[in-house]
Amino acid sequence: MSATIIDGFAVAAGLREKIAADAAALKASHGVTPGLAVVLVGEDPASAVYVRNKLKATAECGLKSLEFKLPAETPEAEVLALVERLNADPAVHGILVQLPLPKQIDADKVLGLIHPDKDVDGFHPLNAGRLSVGLPGFVPCTPRGSQILIDGVTSDLSGKHAVVIGRSNIVGKPMAQLLLQKNATVTIAHSRTKDLPAVCRTADVLVAAVGRPLMVKGDWIKPGAIVIDVGINRIEVDGKGKIVGDVDFDSAVEVAGAITPVPRGVGPMTIACLMLNTLDSARRAVG
């Protein structure tokens, strides 16, 4: 049996269309265009691609973007000053500082300075806290997008066992919180987890967010499980670069009930949810 392949690209396209319509309505009713400021420090090639894709999606959704490209040697104080300026700018509803930052810059300090009401990445400790106690706030884009994909294939997670592999603040922990809100029984597995394949085999929903190419094999998966692959890993195959997930798709697709591919799975949803968070922020700003 072969799994349903969850088309994140198509779901994200539909979501972006809805965001564009809602942004146009907000403009008509309140004269406000949601604005996203994107800050990129340095020349990390992967970050440059991510930022380009984010800016492209912003334009497609009819949102306004402001791009700040700073040299790699920019002092921390300059980045902090920029964040303060963006915090105070009423045309800016969302601020995204692309990670990783160069080593002279303390990322926690920068992320902690972003006003929580403009923290469309959902990385500020206040928003992490809001999520953990069930208050409204910004939810990080990758978990938000992953949850939308899960909701698209199952309407009831109550009592289901969800296993999240990875305990990052950006994906693993917020993903676990979202699944908990849906009444799943949640396990966060990580590099010190004993017998990870056995833990994964108990999962009705398996979210892989570890950054290890092709780690999760078909025989780690419970038949019929929902498998969400958050990994975006570049590997060499026959001398050519290839993007693969954390899940060995070819073996997993034979066992899972539904599975996201890489590319065209979670990745496009992350960007669409950044647009959604920016729209939400602009709506809150107008009351």
- Cross-strand bridge partners of residue 247: 216
Q: Is 114 annotated as a binding residue?
A: no
Task: For ligand GUN, give the closer residue by CB, 63 or 225.
Answer: 63
**C-alpha–C-alpha distance, residues 206 and 199, integer Å:** 10
CB of 133 to ligand GUN, least distance (A): 23
Of the candidates 283, 150, 128, 131, which has an alpha carbon nearest to the alpha carbon of residue 228?
Answer: 150
User: What does the block give as tokens for 252?
Assistant: 């997993």
DSSP string, 98-150: -SSPPTTS-HHHHHHHS-GGG-TT--SHHHHHHHHHT---PPPHHHHHHHHHH
250 is catalytic: no
**C-alpha–C-alpha distance, residues 157 and 150, integer Å:** 9
CB of 283 to ligand GUN, least distance (A): 21
Active-site entry in 121, 229, 246, 248: 121
56 is catalytic: no
Q: Tell me the number of residues near ligand GUN by CB under 6 A.
A: 7
* Per-position x/- string for 31-70, each x denoting binding to ligand GUN as judged by CB under 6 A, each - no binding: -------------------x--------------------
**C-alpha–C-alpha distance, residues 162 and 246, integer Å:** 17
* Per-position x/- string for 84-103, each x denoting binding to ligand GUN as judged by CB under 6 A, each - no binding: ------------xxxx----
Match 């006003």 to its residue by tokens: 115
Task: For ligand GUN, give the closer residue by CB, 175 or 200.
Answer: 175
CB of 151 to ligand GUN, least distance (A): 20
Q: What one-letter code names the amino acid at 23?
A: A
140 to 159, contacts with ligand GUN by CB under 6 A? 141
Contacting ligand GUN (CB under 6 A), which of 15, 40, 110, 121? Answer: 121
Q: What one-letter code names the amino acid at 181?
A: Q
With residue 39 as reference, give the H or E element that holds it.
strand 35-41
Query: Hey, how many other C-beta atoms are within 10 angstroms of the C-beta on 240?
Result: 7
CB of 94 to ligand GUN, least distance (A): 11
Active-site entry in 22, 64, 98, 246: 98
184 lies in the site for ligand GUN, by CB under 6 A: no
238 is catalytic: no
- For the chain, how many residues are written? 287
User: What does the block give as tokens for 241?
Assistant: 């670069």
Task: For ligand GUN, give the closer residue by CB, 50 or 68.
Answer: 50
CB of 3 to ligand GUN, least distance (A): 26
- Contacts with ligand GUN by CB under 6 A lie at 50, 96-99, 121, 141
- Binding-site members are 166-168, 232
